Structure 1
Amino acid sequence: MLLAIDAGNTNVVFALVDGERIAARWRIATDPRRTADEYAVWLSQLLSLEGFDHKSVSAVIIATVVPRALHNLQVLASKYFRTEALIAGRPPVEWGVAIDVDEPASLGADRAVNTIAAHALYEGDLIVIDFGTATTFDLSDYSGAYKGGIIAPGINLSLDALVSAAAKLPRIAIEAPATDSVIGRNTVDQMNIGIYWGYIGMIEGLVARMKAEVGRPVKVIATGGLATLFEQHTNVFDAIEPDLTIQGLAMMWRRAHM
Structure 2
Amino acid sequence: MVLLADLGNTNVKFRAADKERLLGERSCAAPTREPEAWLGAARKALADAGATAARLVAASVVPGRVADLRCVAGLLGLDCLLVPRELPLDIENRYARPDEVGADRLAVAFAARRTCDAERIIVLDFGTATTFDCVRGGAYLGGLICPGVRSSIRSFTEDTAQLPSPSLEVDPTGLRIGVSTMDSLNQGVVYGFAAMVEGLVARLERPLGGPARVLATGGYAEIIAPVCPAIHEVRGDLVLEGLRLAAYDRA
Report the TM-score when normalising by structure 1: 0.89
Deviations 1:80-101 (A, max 9, x none): 2x2321111113x112322112
| One-letter code aligned to 2:50 | F
2:76 is aligned with 1:75: no
Residue of structure 1 equivalent to 2:28: 26
Candidates 108, 114, 121, aligned match of 1:114: 108
Secondary structure of 1:23's counterpart equals coil
Residue of structure 1 equivalent to 2:136: 141
Deviations 1:49-87 (A, max 9, x none): x3736xx1112101010111111111211232x232111
2:60 is aligned with 1:89: no
Candidates 200, 208, 231, aligned match of 2:202: 208
| One-letter code aligned to 2:78 | T
Instruction: State the shift of 1:252 in Å.
Output: 0.7
Matches within 5 A, 1:12-51: 12-24=12-24, 25-31=27-33, 34-35=35-36, 38-44=37-43, 47-48=46-47, 50=48
Residue of structure 2 equivalent to 1:58: 54
Q: In the aligned structure 1, how far is the partner of 2:81 from the partner of 2:148?
A: 29
Secondary structure of 1:232's counterpart equals helix
Deviations 1:165-204 (A, max 9, x none): 2111112222324763431111111111211111111010
| Cα contact 1:5–1:15 (8 A) shared by 2 | yes
Unaligned stretches of 5+ residues in structure 1: none
Residues 178 and 205 of structure 1, relative CA distance in 2, 3 Å threshold: closer
2:233 is aligned with 1:235: no
Instruction: State the shift of 1:214 in Å.
Output: 2.0
| Cα contact 1:176–1:229 (8 A) shared by 2 | no
Q: In the aligned structure 2, how far is the partner of 1:166 from the partner of 1:227?
A: 26
| One-letter code aligned to 1:5 | A
Structure 1 segments of 4+ aligned residues over 4 angstroms from their partners? 45-48
Instruction: State the shift of 1:18 in Å.
Output: 2.3
Residue of structure 1 equivalent to 2:176: 182
Secondary structure of 2:23's counterpart equals strand
Candidates 145, 152, 176, aligned match of 1:151: 145
| One-letter code aligned to 2:127 | G
Number of aligned residue pairs: give it: 248
Residues 51 and 97 of structure 1, relative CA distance in 2, 3 Å threshold: closer
Instruction: State the shift of 1:44 in Å.
Output: 3.0
Residues 168 and 5 of structure 1, relative CA distance in 2, 3 Å threshold: same
- Percent identity, please: 32
Secondary structure of 1:22's counterpart equals coil
| Cα contact 1:129–1:222 (8 A) shared by 2 | yes
| One-letter code aligned to 2:64 | R
Q: CA RMSD in A?
A: 1.8
Q: In the aligned structure 2, how far is the partner of 1:216 from the partner of 1:90?
A: 32
